[in-house]
Structure 1
Amino acid sequence: MASASPLIDRHGRTISYLRISVTDRCDLRCRYCMAEQMTFLPRERLLSLEEIALIAERFIARGTSKIRLSGGEPLVRRDIIDLARRLGRHLGDGGLDELTMTTNGVRLGEHAEALADAGMRRVNVSLDSRDPEVFRHITRHGQIETVLGGIAAAKAAGLAVKINMVALKGLNAHEIADMLAWCADEALDLTLIETMPMGSVDEDRADRFLPLTHILDDLLGRFDLRRDAHRSGGPARYWRLAGTDTRLGLISPLTANFCDGCNRVRLTTEGRLYLCLGHDDQVDLKAAIRDGGLPAVDAAIDAALAIKPRRHDFRIAEGSAPAVARHMSVTGG
């Protein structure tokens, strides 16, 4: 692959991290993420996996060192393992440092070994509760046993697992300390995430918003947590649970803005490159690759870097509209 100019946005930030939503579809319907009745994109509007790979390879050639596959639920897309294998070929060749995935874990048991064979070394699993009834309520129909089986399969395949837990007032706040203790017992990392106002859902997010500042104060009173300088490439701030290998990460888009160090852009399954979760600024890479090939993709990426916002402006208040109309499943987690 021919190299091109490095990826530096108009604010001087180097863009080294590409998140790719390979599908907006999901086999769960988490209440904070989706409405119960969703309309998904018709398949003919999606990028092909070949187009996703070609675009990703242009990013790699221009200095992107980390790629995360997401959705929706990435493992519902047919031939996703083929994409993982193709991108995995760039690991260790001076191009890609890390290839990871965020999954709800439902299908992880089927695919864990293949993901490890493709070169992945860790995955993030979205798990907001270990209580079967609470889990079913949040996801609307999920079975916790299936997800726990997927986590076990990932560990058996040699994948490090990080649990992503969205903190939800009145739903799972009482489980957070127990989740951290369980993660320590299972040698897993845990990242807590504030709910984000993206897309219309069937509930008022203000009723569920739980500031992580409150949660951290509680956890510091229960556990021996020490600040950790670890960086995973994303926005999390880390603590380590003393006496274990477990890290606690906090992603606080509302109470602790992290945009100054943003190194990320997101490619949607429809081929739109979004520059920020909280803004609608985007360029159409599907049109670029289909109309002008890779030179047009490079030009479109350059145009995107010139419009990347300095920061998001998420707010949650009773009755307020979402910051953006699109759901997180469209942009990719």
Structure 2
Amino acid sequence: MHADPAPPVLIDPFQRRIDYLRVSVTDRCDLRCTYCLPKGFKGFEEPANWLSHAEMSRLVGLFVQLGVGKVRLTGGEPLLRRGISELAGKLAALPGLRDLSLSSNGTQLAQHAQALKAAGVQRLNISLDSLDDACFARVTGRDCLGDVLAGLQAAQAAGFAPIKLNMVVQAGVNDADVARMVDFSLQHGFVLRLIEPMPIGDTGRQTQGLDLSRLGQQLARQFGLVPEIKGQGAGPARYWTSANGQSSLGVITPMSQHFCAACNRVRLGVDGTLYLCLGQDDQVPLGRLLRAGASDDELIAAIHAGIASKPERHEFNDQPAKIIRFMSQTGG
């Protein structure tokens, strides 16, 4: 009697197992955050080139067959994509998918939270760069902080827990709001993650960040938090916990202390382009191959070839002008 073969896995040239796929369902967004998209930007992908729900499900299903157990739906703003809950339900039903999550700016969350939970989305990451109305409007281009806070309340009512808040910290813009954000997160049971801006596109290069490794340690002392021995999941954040042992504060430091050695992810753009690194141009046109009639075996071969060329690390510090595409074009 022969034992069943080991399940397939994706291993890159640096022996990193790739088991996490981020899927952009749209490159459109209803905000214009200063570090992401410039005002008046019109270079969005034509909707005719967007993968359909069926095409996305097919490609994601192939990744899951290859050992990817975590999928995150992103954008742009994914809640702008029509039928997002139905797509989430199709993906959640894929055999072998262990974790389905979604990143959002929260403006549309109040009307989608219950449906997303029912569809099988397990976790939410919500962008929130300030609790000050004026600062929020300055960063995002819209005066809609109340909509985001209502969305967070609806998400908690729907049963999402914990909810992670992502705050991109900009020197001289919202850095004075960080302590208030920590206090807000502790009061409401959120996990706050402070993120250093990356030089992706002109907007990213024009954004001045801070060394968040140092700031995280200062905040931990201020709020009586202790380092978490093992961060949540295999992600890039380093966490501190509150007295009850719950993760409360994390920092993501692609600039001051990069985490490329543990990278376990790739990204699928709304047109099916497979991006192998945020800070490199390596990519595979899976969507174009799919629409040209490629079989599943041919698509799997293309995925393997892409993973075999995944670069070792980004070069944000060495070549900050290298990536000209904007963050929304890659997928959050």
TM over 0.5: yes
TM-score calculated relative to the size of structure 1: 0.93
Equivalent position of 1:218 in the other structure: 218
Correspondence 1:36 to 2:39: yes
Sort the Cα spacing of 1:237 and 1:323 in 2 relative to 1 into closer, same or farther, 3 A.
farther
Give the conservation status (yes or no) of the 8 Å contact 1:273–1:285: yes
Equivalent position of 1:189 in the other structure: 191
Correspondence 1:54 to 2:53: no
Equivalent position of 1:74 in the other structure: 78
Please tell me the residue identity of whatever aligns with 1:299: A
Sort the Cα spacing of 1:238 and 1:217 in 2 relative to 1 into closer, same or farther, 3 A.
closer
Correspondence 1:121 to 2:122: yes
Equivalent position of 2:238 in the other structure: 237
User: What is the alpha-carbon distance in structure 2 between the residues aligned to residue 274 and residue 4 of structure 1?
Assistant: 24
Correspondence 1:20 to 2:13: no
Alpha-carbon deviation of 1:202? 8.9
Which consecutive residues of structure 2, in runs of 5 or more, have no partner in the other structure?
Answer: 1-5
Aligned residue pairs total 323
Please tell me the residue identity of whatever aligns with 1:166: V
Give the conservation status (yes or no) of the 8 Å contact 1:101–1:124: yes
User: What is the alpha-carbon distance in structure 2 between the residues aligned to residue 142 and residue 282 of structure 1?
Assistant: 36
Please tell me the residue identity of whatever aligns with 1:31: T
User: What is the alpha-carbon distance in structure 1 between the residues aligned to residue 204 and residue 21 of structure 2?
Assistant: 30
User: What is the alpha-carbon distance in structure 2 between the residues aligned to residue 289 and residue 203 of structure 1?
Assistant: 34
User: What is the alpha-carbon distance in structure 2 between the residues aligned to residue 252 and residue 124 of structure 1?
Assistant: 17
Correspondence 1:85 to 2:89: yes
Please provide the CA RMSD for this pair. Answer: 1.7
Alpha-carbon deviation of 1:311? 0.6
Give the conservation status (yes or no) of the 8 Å contact 1:289–1:296: no
| Comparing 225-234 and 257-266, the one that deviates more | 225-234
Give the conservation status (yes or no) of the 8 Å contact 2:26–2:76: yes
| Comparing 289-298 and 68-77, the one that deviates more | 289-298
> What is the CA deviation profile of residues 108-161 of structure 1, one whole-angstrom value per residue up to 9, with x for unaligned ones?
001000110011222000000010110011001141000000000000000121
Equivalent position of 1:329 in the other structure: 328
Equivalent position of 2:227 in the other structure: 227
Alpha-carbon deviation of 1:293? 2.7
User: What is the alpha-carbon distance in structure 1 between the residues aligned to residue 204 and residue 181 of structure 2?
Assistant: 26
> What is the CA deviation profile of residues 23-63 of structure 1, one whole-angstrom value per residue up to 9, with x for unaligned ones?
11000000011100112111112111211110000111111
Give the conservation status (yes or no) of the 8 Å contact 2:72–2:103: yes
Give the conservation status (yes or no) of the 8 Å contact 1:274–1:281: yes
Alpha-carbon deviation of 1:315? 2.3
TM-score calculated relative to the size of structure 2: 0.93
Correspondence 1:11 to 2:14: yes
User: What is the alpha-carbon distance in structure 2 between the residues aligned to residue 244 and residue 181 of structure 1?
Assistant: 16
SS of the residue corresponding to residue 164 of structure 1 reads: strand
Alpha-carbon deviation of 1:331? 1.1
SS of the residue corresponding to residue 269 of structure 1 reads: coil
| Comparing 195-204 and 248-257, the one that deviates more | 195-204
Give the conservation status (yes or no) of the 8 Å contact 2:134–2:143: no
User: What is the alpha-carbon distance in structure 1 between the residues aligned to residue 143 and residue 68 of structure 2?
Assistant: 35
Please tell me the residue identity of whatever aligns with 2:31: L
User: What is the alpha-carbon distance in structure 1 between the residues aligned to residue 221 and residue 232 of structure 2?
Assistant: 24
User: What is the alpha-carbon distance in structure 2 between the residues aligned to residue 187 and residue 330 of structure 1?
Assistant: 32
User: What is the alpha-carbon distance in structure 2 between the residues aligned to residue 174 and residue 230 of structure 1?
Assistant: 26
User: What is the alpha-carbon distance in structure 1 between the residues aligned to residue 166 and residue 296 of structure 2?
Assistant: 35
SS of the residue corresponding to residue 239 of structure 1 reads: strand
SS of the residue corresponding to residue 18 of structure 2 reads: coil
Percent identity, please: 43
Which consecutive residues of structure 1, in runs of 5 or more, have no partner in the other structure?
Answer: none
Alpha-carbon deviation of 1:190? 0.8
Please tell me the residue identity of whatever aligns with 1:315: N
Sort the Cα spacing of 1:235 and 1:321 in 2 relative to 1 into closer, same or farther, 3 A.
closer
